[in-house]
Amino acid sequence: EAGVAQSPRYKIIEKRQSVAFWCNPISGHATLYWYQQILGQGPKLLIQFQNNGVVDDSQLPKDRFSAERLKGVDSTLKIQPAKLEDSAVYLCASSLTGTGGYEQYFGPGTRLTVT
């Protein structure tokens, strides 16, 4: 079974530039999550989708971050314009949906450095 795919793996940009990350979840997983993980901290949820609808985006800085999940499969996360404090690893995860306590499967992450 293929895992969660993310690209790119690494990205270096200057502040005020824009960047986009891509995620392809495990086939059949209706729920998709984007997390921001700053070095030394736990993952912080940015946005959660169920199919192509947003379940939770309460911690997404909407003035600069946006995300979409067209057709309920792939997803993209965009930052425009980037700030120095956006330097982090951006993790995508997916899971089955429902009350079964289904675990999340994580992609390898994209390490973003903003200079």
**Interface positions with another protein (CB under 8 A):** 31, 33, 40-45, 48, 50, 55-56, 91, 93, 95, 97-109
Which CB atom, from 75 or from 95, has the smaller least distance to another protein?
95
Pairing of strands 88-95, 110-114: antiparallel
**CA–CA dist 56, 78 (Å, integer):** 17
**Shortest separation between residue 102's beta carbon and another protein, angstroms:** 8
The full length of the chain comes to 115
**Shortest separation between residue 108's beta carbon and another protein, angstroms:** 5
Phi then psi for residue 24, to 5 deg, are -120, 110
Which CB atom, from 20 or from 45, has the smaller least distance to another protein?
45
Q: CB count, 10 Å around CB of 1?
A: 6
**Shortest separation between residue 71's beta carbon and another protein, angstroms:** 20
